[in-house]
Structure 1
Amino acid sequence: MDRIVEDKRSVARKRKAASSSPERDGSAIVSRSVETGGNDRKRRAVSSGGLTTSAAVQATVENETELENSSTPHGDPEFGEDDVFDAGDEASDAARDDSIPSTDLPDALQPTGDDDMEEDDWDDDEEDPSEDSHSVSDSDEEDYVPLEVEVEETTFTISEPEELKVILKSYRQEGVDKFEVWLETLIVTCTCEGNEIGRGFGRYVERDFIQENFWRNMEEPCQELSDIVFKLFDRYGRLKEEYITHPVRKGTGYWGAELNFGNLFILEHVAIKRDFRRMGIGSAVVNSLIAKSNSGERTTDFTIVSPSYLTRGVEEESKGKSKKEHQEIANRAYDAASAFFRFLGFRRIGASTCFGLANDLSHIARTSLASEDFDLPELGEETEEEDKFDGSKAKERAMKRLEKQLPLHHAVLSLSDEKCVECFENFKTPDTMDEWGRTDRFEKNVLHQAACELKPKSVQWLLDNNKNLSLGRSRDGYTPLELLMDQLETKRTTGKRGVATVLISDSFEGFIPDAIACMAALRGLEAPSDIQTLQLKYGCTCGKCIDGLLSPRMKFALSCQSEIGHDMLLIDIGDADKWCQTNEDLAEHLSPNIRQRFLTNKSLRHVFSRIFHHAAITLRSNKLPTVNNIVRTWKDSNEWPAHGFNFYQRGRKTKSALRKIFEFARDQDQWAGDGKHLEAFGEIRCLPQCRNDHEFGFVARACGVPGFEQYVSPDVIWNRRHQESKMLLDTTPELAY
């Protein structure tokens, strides 16, 4: 993985270069550690600007009734190339989970749907995405028209049922989003005889600009982007590991670490008026969008869609039918949409609901057959075990039905842990042996349910009495342990604030005791040691984290930065003015009074440098770099000058130095920063990888640095761009997928 990262990053440097930020003079730096930290210590404060939701564009997506998504020029009469699908909403999940979306979600016609619908769903007065005006003041909203730049027009002729000339206009919308440094909205309109008959839009994402805060940035522009990126990628824009390595969740295994790099084009919306379907217009609109995403300075590496079915069409076809028949109709519609995209060259990404199309024609997903693609398992018939209940009465009725159909699942959901164990004991008879292996419509057995409900005593009882339950896989391919880990990972990383998804990784304080006990039982740890308990609590996956949270790789990075800081502070220590000017950033978090005293007190400057030295010693001793541990290391060193005692004992000084150590480690991290640390200290590749490797915010808070968030200043991005400009003449290495 690290080699892939290094090779891909080298290719990324070939991308367009941006202006560079001022750098400090590093001529006086003599050691490797000092060279790494000396040149880019000074961070420019560049405003990232406010982020607002593209309200008008979102409204168009939510109200459109004829949607199509695709991304190649080919048409397919069998699947109806000009029928329409929505690439952004959650309707695809609903089709599988029997949670049919409400009518305010986007609608799309089935590719095999009838052409003689009772009414035309196109609204001639409907707001166009190009009329978005959310970024201007309220007083100017009515008169504001966003700019259309990079305008191109092409024409083609359709011959059936009569010969007509169709004009495609493609353009980039400018002056609307405050995200335009990394996000571009590309729009295509299609007209015939002066009337608009089709339109579409997508979002071009220059991922390298937002890698450090990928989730945070991608959540804000619109819901469609948020849905896709939280489904597929982690907080740094990397494809989730389960889609690469999990025996089931990886699907065909076509997609791997290559999806961690490069620019994305999210195809959100294509609409074709009813009378002009199945004439090749939809494919023409999509082709124009894809071409636009690869024109000018744009280079799309992957196009991503999330296909779904036509809500209104399914509802009309389902009138008067049973719930089961309704579900079957929805499933057929979703399957038709998936088949449509596969015909166009898309392949499912892992076992997700998203499909991808690589720009690289030699990519394995482009060379594989559609028949070889991964299919999601069919959803079983409803057993009335609902994870979402509408109203207390409905919940009560559903629970009564569940008690009859799946009594063990009902016990887990309705009883306390102790009562649940009693119920299991009473239920355990020779006549009920077959009941223990029964699953719900999501193919979750009773152990899946007990683990997700965080009932450790029930989990242990089930494992003691039927170990085979631990091998069962849910519809999504998870064993009970894997399902629990997936649930805990979601709780660790994200939360909800209204409809917005909020990143909460930096506030993680460890899993609760019941979750730890369930994990221990499912892992076969009968009496976990203290360190094993801490590793379970803090999500360690390498088995070597200090106190369960500080991974070997992060420890190495913090040690390097501690030594770098110490070396930097020793340079010109006898020249007060030069020392204070050169190390202004290292003393950034100290009080103005202390910084002023540095000008007149050389001993104080020396003591400050020793904090970084003792932090490095603390880390080498396999201890967390907390203020108390660093002070204890200093005391053990027998360095006891009076001025040093006061300086150390007042923990704010030590905490200020510790904060800078974490900030520098974060800013040079492989994923959370500019990657300089990996370039300078390649030996980090020899250390085991861990889930906690890049969680600087979480670890800093655990070490007593309050309010430390893993937000990377825009200057780090500028620094990466400057590095790219220096590497433009380098030879591009062969990519390793």
Structure 2
Amino acid sequence: MSTIKRPRSPHGSEGNTTPSKMRKMSQVETPQRDHIQITVELRSTSKAAENDPISPKSAEYYRKLMESFDHLQRDAGDETETLTDDNGDEKHDLPNADGIYGKREDELLASDTDSVDSENEDDECDEDDLNSEHDEFAEWKWLEHIDAFAIAGENQVAQCDAKLIRRSRMRNDFLNEMLEPSEKTSALVSDLFDRYGCLRQEYYQHEVKKGTGIWDRELDEGDMLLFESIVVGSSRHRQGIATKVVKAVLDETRRKSRHFFAFVQPGYVGGLYGVHVEERVKTATKIGKKFFQSLGFRRVGTSTWFAFADDNSHPSRSLATAQDIDAPDTRKPQQAMSDGMNLLMATLSDPLITGTQCVSEIEDTFRAMVAASSILSTDRKGNNILHIAAISRKTEAAAFIQSNLPQLANTRNIEGYTPAETLQNDMEMLRTTRALPTHTYVTSDRFEGFKQSDVTCLATLTGTDIFYPNELTDSDTGSISSTIKERLSKIPGRVIISNTLRLMYGC
């Protein structure tokens, strides 16, 4: 399936235009001296009616209902309803399975003043939504768009764009569904979750990627509140307005959901043009991070995402802001490398050079540098030459480098990956999605296995014994090669086959 990021509507979240028609609104008054009113709007009443939990009936309601049943039972014992058949003879009406006689069941149901004609109600809501054009996400029933505004007099001074995601309503197709509505929903699922809406294992199991370790599989369940953007007018900064807006959205979500987690990826909102763009982005991200941390959000692993647990007993609520980790700096400048290292990196990265050719071309340079500290140099992402060989699927080169510099196998890049983990992560991305500038394709269901170059390189890096059918026989003589014979004599062939299939299909 291909997905296209949908353009913002004129009433979308990026501008300062207030939606022309309020769908569902709650208001929070700030102290009068500020003259600021916080308004939270739901763009779709029909989605809210369908997705919000049903309020439990009061004890008084059930007491009256039981009294009605008792009353009917007494009436049934004192007087028996009679009817006549076609011959005019009297016949007794029999109670139904619930012990209710005749039309009294209808009368009982009609007496329930809390009953509503749900079909009519849904029709009214649907008609209401169809008459409104400002819910650009109307087709996704599991997504409720929430707008929040801060109004001072007649002026809007702040705006928040949030989305409440009902995960349980589309978990069986979570990845496909989340890729479509917006860039942020796509980024959230791509960065943190698997195709079924469960937190990626590396964020609670990986030695480095799990970060502080405060998040675990609890993030697999519940609704998801996604804060996409918060904009406060420059003249209203540092007045606590953004805090009031976020808290108002959280309060509204508590009313609408029994169990949820909130997510945000702090960053820069606005056009990226002019000079010092990178510095503006860095500054805005830092400010946004501190702001959300002050509200109880904590980083998920080493990702750029922060999450909020609406549970005071959750470990994240007791982690001090100072203890929350910083994300790796992936924008660090490239350090100067020697000519020899530049040659090694370029040769290993060249897609036109095979692994065998690569070894012959780098061997002399490598052996001349192997004793020098410069051989440990990395690129701007922290990748050493073994990382590069792994990413390029140069199996023979990876084996050559690892045998001479075994310590490189445990060296981590900026993202926290060893060379083998870097390759595994790259393979997993290829297995699940294919990203193009305007489309993201979900490829999981059409996956037919990794290429032989992927599998052999990963096996080399992890020291896993494997073989492919064309490895069983010698290409010249047609007989079983001595290398394969030796390997099969040491390890049961069944184990080798299992290893090969496991790496081939990513299981």
Q: Report the TM-score, using the length of structure 2 for normalisation.
A: 0.70
Q: Which residue of 2 aligns with 1:306?
A: 265
2:311 is matched with which residue: 360, 366, 370? 360
1:439 is matched with which residue: 378, 382, 403? 378
Q: Which residue of 1 aligns with 2:366?
A: 428
Distance in 1 (alpha carbons) for counterparts of 2:294 and 2:179: 30
1:485 is matched with which residue: 424, 438, 443? 424
- Say if 2:444 is the partner of 1:508: no
Q: Which residue of 1 aligns with 2:218?
A: 258
Distance in 1 (alpha carbons) for counterparts of 2:394 and 2:12: 45
Distance in 1 (alpha carbons) for counterparts of 2:197 and 2:297: 20
Distance in 2 (alpha carbons) for counterparts of 1:423 and 1:335: 45
Matches within 5 A, 1:568-587: none
- Say if 2:355 is the partner of 1:417: yes
Q: Which residue of 2 aligns with 1:220?
A: 180
- Say if 2:17 is the partner of 1:56: no
- Say if 2:231 is the partner of 1:271: yes
Secondary structure at the aligned position of 2:435 is classed as strand
Distance in 2 (alpha carbons) for counterparts of 1:312 and 1:476: 28
Amino acid aligned to 1:420: C
- Say if 2:102 is the partner of 1:151: no
Q: Which residue of 1 aligns with 2:169?
A: 209
Cα deviation code 1:242-295 (max 9, x no counterpart): 001000011011000100011110011222122222212111111111111122
Secondary structure at the aligned position of 2:412 is classed as coil
Q: Give the 3 Å change call, closer, same or farther, for CA 379–182 of structure 1 in structure 2.
A: closer
Alpha-carbon contact 1:403-1:410 (below 8 Å) kept = no
Secondary structure at the aligned position of 1:293 is classed as helix
Q: Give the 3 Å change call, closer, same or farther, for CA 465–273 of structure 1 in structure 2.
A: same
- Say if 2:302 is the partner of 1:351: yes
Alpha-carbon contact 2:4-2:438 (below 8 Å) kept = no
Q: Give the 3 Å change call, closer, same or farther, for CA 331–148 of structure 1 in structure 2.
A: closer
Cα deviation code 1:111-154 (max 9, x no counterpart): xxxxxxxxxxxxxxx544x36xxxxxxxxxxxxxxx53332223
Distance in 1 (alpha carbons) for counterparts of 2:269 and 2:289: 13
Q: Which residue of 2 aligns with 1:168?
A: 38
- Shift, 1:428, TM fit: 3.2
Q: Which residue of 1 aligns with 2:142?
A: 182
Distance in 1 (alpha carbons) for counterparts of 2:381 and 2:42: 43
Matches within 5 A, 1:325-724: 330-379=281-330, 381-383=332-334, 406-414=342-350, 415-429=353-367, 432-433=370-371, 434-525=373-464, 528=467, 535=498, 538-539=501-502, 692=507
Distance in 1 (alpha carbons) for counterparts of 2:30 and 2:262: 25
Alpha-carbon contact 1:53-1:222 (below 8 Å) kept = yes
Distance in 2 (alpha carbons) for counterparts of 1:374 and 1:402: 33
Amino acid aligned to 1:441: R
Distance in 2 (alpha carbons) for counterparts of 1:375 and 1:508: 35
Alpha-carbon contact 1:148-1:171 (below 8 Å) kept = yes
Segments of 5+ residues of structure 1 without an aligned counterpart are: 1-50, 65-125, 132-146, 319-325, 386-400, 541-547, 550-690, 693-737
Amino acid aligned to 1:172: L
The structure that has the greater radius of gyration is 2
Alpha-carbon contact 1:511-1:538 (below 8 Å) kept = no
- Shift, 1:470, TM fit: 0.6
Distance in 1 (alpha carbons) for counterparts of 2:410 and 2:11: 45
Compare 416-425 and 149-158 and name the one that shifted more.
149-158
Distance in 2 (alpha carbons) for counterparts of 1:374 and 1:496: 29
Amino acid aligned to 2:347: A
Alpha-carbon contact 1:347-1:373 (below 8 Å) kept = yes
Secondary structure at the aligned position of 1:341 is classed as helix
Matches within 5 A, 1:77-116: none
Cα deviation code 1:326-372 (max 9, x no counterpart): 75665454333322222221110011110001011110011111111
Cα deviation code 1:562-610 (max 9, x no counterpart): xxxxxxxxxxxxxxxxxxxxxxxxxxxxxxxxxxxxxxxxxxxxxxxxx
Alpha-carbon contact 1:314-1:329 (below 8 Å) kept = no
Secondary structure at the aligned position of 1:516 is classed as helix
Alpha-carbon contact 2:5-2:439 (below 8 Å) kept = no
Matches within 5 A, 1:26-41: none
Secondary structure at the aligned position of 1:351 is classed as coil
Q: Give the 3 Å change call, closer, same or farther, for CA 185–332 of structure 1 in structure 2.
A: closer
- Shift, 1:538, TM fit: 4.8
Alpha-carbon contact 1:249-1:351 (below 8 Å) kept = yes
Amino acid aligned to 2:187: D
Distance in 2 (alpha carbons) for counterparts of 1:53 and 1:461: 44
Distance in 2 (alpha carbons) for counterparts of 1:352 and 1:448: 21
Q: Which residue of 1 aligns with 2:98?
A: none
Amino acid aligned to 2:225: F
Distance in 2 (alpha carbons) for counterparts of 1:507 and 1:271: 41
- Shift, 1:467, TM fit: 0.9
Amino acid aligned to 1:360: D
1:244 is matched with which residue: 204, 216, 235? 204
Distance in 1 (alpha carbons) for counterparts of 2:324 and 2:370: 40
Cα deviation code 1:296-320 (max 9, x no counterpart): x42342000011146669955x3xx
Alpha-carbon contact 2:455-2:500 (below 8 Å) kept = yes
Q: Report the TM-score, using the length of structure 1 for normalisation.
A: 0.49
Amino acid aligned to 1:152: S
Cα deviation code 1:161-201 (max 9, x no counterpart): xx441122212102333345321111112222212222212
Alpha-carbon contact 1:448-1:479 (below 8 Å) kept = yes
1:286 is matched with which residue: 246, 250, 253? 246
Amino acid aligned to 1:148: M
Alpha-carbon contact 1:254-1:364 (below 8 Å) kept = yes
Amino acid aligned to 2:387: H
Alpha-carbon contact 1:52-1:178 (below 8 Å) kept = no
Count residues in correspondence: 389
Distance in 1 (alpha carbons) for counterparts of 2:244 and 2:179: 30
Cα deviation code 1:621-662 (max 9, x no counterpart): xxxxxxxxxxxxxxxxxxxxxxxxxxxxxxxxxxxxxxxxxx
Distance in 2 (alpha carbons) for counterparts of 1:486 and 1:465: 25
Q: Give the 3 Å change call, closer, same or farther, for CA 527–363 of structure 1 in structure 2.
A: closer
Q: Which residue of 1 aligns with 2:95?
A: none
Alpha-carbon contact 1:494-1:503 (below 8 Å) kept = yes
Secondary structure at the aligned position of 1:197 is classed as strand
CA RMSD of aligned residues (A): 3.0
Distance in 2 (alpha carbons) for counterparts of 1:370 and 1:229: 25
